Structure 1
């Protein structure tokens, strides 16, 4: 009989011990509840004790979780509809707040869906379509990440990033987008042509200016050289005239014969000075 009592006592102790022990895995964190109210948080892995039958333990993931949204339609600043397929990475940083606000991961997914979708609509509405799909994609989703992170903190959730997996447009908007892109490319081409024409005109004007300067300088130098030549010729003429006036007069007379006699009829008297060197002496 003594062994029976001892066995019963050991069984009761073992039973109580089983309901008093809980193990926290390295990938988990735990919230200890007493009569439904959280009393402590356990984030480090190991073996822990709780009050049997009074306290219960709820486990949450400590690893990074992924939120994968359904493709959603948003409207850009330039009134173009686009379908964004995005995802987010988050973790539970405050298990008690997480438990109070969303209860579990399923509730967290639903609340994140509301937060991220509303922030995506707000931020995307501040950018043009071309910016989102090419130039400013990273900037857009960084802004979405920051604003979503602030709101998610109220749920005990920390969002590390929000990123885009795929972007597409509704079929009915494709033609409008293509027409808009064509018009934009034509506008840029016209701008480039206008800039090219302005540059060509500037180069042409600059070349014309240089041409006028070069011609003016050449004319000035030519006139200067001509003046020097005429002065030199006049000097030589004066020298020749002073050294042999008779010979100079003879040369000038020959020049006169050359310019006037061929093909011309002259009526002059035989004793004219013009025949001075043609008469036999």
Structure 2
């Protein structure tokens, strides 16, 4: 997080009994969170069959009863850890971007999944590739690759995790992302609606509650199709943006 000058510390002094607000949390509850550049002509939903498979995987996780996050603040405080974990995936990306052009094409993507020993049908691979290529540029870029691998990880059967050659650090990051999604997805059906989002943002906490107009803005950031429902894919893209994975400024979202 940003270093706070002595003068700033003095300005942050509170009256007795008042909780200090973490800068990252205060920033999240402001309107200063950039949107994601999505090409409307390139945006593609997952195939319904694959979408159901994804929702079933989320439902299994929800049924386990394990919960890592108890409040939105606990998620926001983990932003630096999310960012570090997701940026480490850049090494995997560069390994399979064989022509070093900043994108992974279909052949490079298929080789990546083969090496990771991920077992999906050709149709499933093609569908995930198309659904994650959202910026209008042919090929998968780093931020899209992060989402793509997270989807692949969640779609795998738990019995296959032992053979997945992704690395425990990356798996732990993806597990934390799934848990963050489940914090919002109160009923575990694999979709978020506005009511669930608002409830999650306004759960009792010692920090501060999110104003209504910010709740609407946060929901709009994720609801790409204006359907009133947010899928896991859209959530992961938005989380990447919230933590600033793609930004050059390490503190872009902690202003």
TM-score when normalising by structure 1: 0.20
Greater RCO (Cα-Cα under 8 Å, separation 6 or more): 2
TM-score when normalising by structure 2: 0.21
Which has the higher Rg, Structure 1 or Structure 2? 1
Which structure has the highest strand share of the two?
1
